[in-house]
Chain A
């Protein structure tokens, strides 16, 4: 293949990957009149930000975003708090139980979420946690836990054990060694896992759909779907605007952790 052909192929990919995104942006900036025109235009003739204002007027976007924020932050913090000691143990101490636990984390990926969501729903109902943000948080923690464990375990293993042992030999206690030597090296991985937990929860739809019933407790993905309505008729401009806004936090955080997430996924994929 010549270079020109390769460039052409890559251009094809860029177009395929970019065109829906550009169309979303274009739709968000169009006036209703232009949207109704028979010939769709790529670049809005008279770009407007009115759709963004309308989006906030049409649905309780701000409230939904706040609720999503609460659930996502809580999910990230709880998951990492629970998973960190676990990941440390799994990385440092080899035992049959540990191997089974980490094997399970992999195997559990095969099961469809219905098998988890129905029992969780029944338990939450008994605890009167259906239709509450607390209930959704519990479910999100279970959903993020396996990959968080997997990621954190990888980051712990990347910290040379010798460093830790050297510090312990130097007279620092095991805990001091952990705090002084391991914690700083582990911090970036912990931040990456926190952000991963946040993004997963912020983006999550199915569990929210099952757990949350009233508009007053809805998270952002549910509110976005509500824009479309049961008949599928929607004011496309505000819908596009709201969709763009909902994507911003995920994109920003993802940009920060992208590299580390890649290595986490690689560890999973290569070692299988």
Chain B
């Protein structure tokens, strides 16, 4: 929690700190700061801003993967093509179903787990360790591991249920099966953050409602949830962004199959760019994903802000 405890030093809104004392020191400092800012800005500019701007620019070109192909500006042509591309709409629909359901399920599952971990129960130690393991695992290994679980012959599920289902190749089961893996994979971060949020809820608040004779449910509804709200909004927003941009997990599990039923937008963009070589079109897809993410996040944050008032 070190990063939380340092608030006093971080008062960015110009506290009484550096204000009036020492004008000359301030001048020296700002020159030093300029020299220090350079190494700060250069990596951000070169490694983050630059490629992104270049990528956005590509969305308005017909760039191809070939070495000697001419690239020219095509304006909004890619976007027009995108809007009439049935595969694109299908991929986005799947992406939204995946992104929203994984985020919601992840949140509910993690909230339950965090509430349990916050109490003095047996098994707590084991559960705590298990709850962070998926965080450390390579996504590829997680994907391969679940393929073993879902495997139609040597897998666990069919043996357990006595079924003979090919989970990851079934048209209607593949997406739900992949969503379960998504929830499993993303629970650690969400649980850890929610648990830390729970531990920061002031004890006095609970004592106050206990005096009123409120039950566990009322305590949760009237104290815990409102107190957790900022943490919940932050982590679910992050989760949504992470989930909608997921690639490795689903690529390893299904490669987007069967018949495109799990082809998330990122898989679609990857295929367009690196299988078919349409760099410009894939960049357009990237921009479209960004717009959708921003729209969903904006709506969500706006509603949260309104309700909080």
The residues of A with any CB-CB pair to B shorter than 8 Å are 1, 3, 6-7, 9-11, 13-14, 16-21, 23-24, 27, 35-36, 39-40, 82-83, 85-90, 92-95, 97-99, 101, 104-105, 108-120, 122-123, 125, 141-142, 145-146, 149, 154-155, 157-158, 160-161, 174, 199, 202-203, 205-206, 209-210, 220-221, 224-225, 227-228, 236, 239-240, 243, 246-247, 250-251, 253-255, 258, 260, 262-270, 272
Contact = CB atoms under 8 A, between A and B. Distances in A.
Contact of A266 (B32, B196, B285): B196
A40 B51 contact: no
Contacts of B139: 203, 205, 221
B214 interface: no
Interface string B36-77: 110111111001111110111010000100010000000000
6 contacts: A1-B216, A115-B290, A118-B286, A122-B54, A266-B193, A269-B235
Contacts, number: 304
Interface string B88-110: 00000000000000000000010
B297 interface: yes
Contact of B154 (A35, A146, A260, A265): A35
Given A93-B29, A99-B12, A225-B252, A13 B192 contact: no
Given A101-B41, A258-B132, A263-B2, A247 B138 contact: yes
B112 interface: yes
Contacts of B113: 10, 13
A16 B185 CA distance: 11
Contact of A270 (B4, B9, B184, B251): B4
Contacts of B178: none
Contact of A240 (B124, B126, B148, B265): B148
B241 A10 contact: no
Nearest to B189: A265
A104 B247 CA distance: 23
A228 B254 CA distance: 11
B22 to A, nearest CB: 12
A157 B9 contact: yes
Q: Determine chain A's interface SS by DSSP, over half rule.
A: helix
Q: Which size bracket describes the interface of B in this complex?
A: 35 or more
Contact of A267 (B3, B41, B140): B3
Given A17-B134, A89-B36, 7 more contacts: A10-B124, A14-B123, A39-B159, A85-B39, A114-B55, A158-B2, A254-B132
Contacts of B6: 154, 157-158
B-side binding surface: helix, strand, loop or mixed? helix
B230 interface: yes
Contacts of B136: 199, 247, 250-251, 253-255
A262 B151 CA distance: 34
A4 B305 CA distance: 38
Nearest to B191: A13
Contacts of B247: 113, 205-206
Contact of B40 (A17, A101, A113): A101
Select the residue from B44, B147, B216 with max chain A CB neighbours within 10 A: B44
A206 B270 contact: yes
Nearest to B181: A20
A95 B231 CA distance: 27
Contact of B273 (A114, A154, A253, A255): A114
Contacts of B224: none
Given A101-B44, A116-B52, A7 B121 contact: yes
Given A6-B119, A210-B274, A14 B47 contact: no
Nearest to B159: A40
A97 B216 CA distance: 48
A242 B247 CA distance: 22
Best-surrounded residue of B141, B145, B279 (most CB of chain A within 10 A) = B141
Nearest to B123: A10
Contact of B184 (A17, A202, A206, A221): A17
B174 interface: no
Nearest to B160: A40
A154 B5 CA distance: 10
A266 B283 CA distance: 32
B40 A251 contact: no
Contact of A142 (B48, B192, B244, B279): B48
A205 B144 CA distance: 13
A97 to B, nearest CB: 6
A114 B285 contact: yes
Contact of A83 (B43, B193, B252): B43
B241 A109 contact: yes
Given A27-B148, A158-B6, A265-B189, A104 B130 contact: no
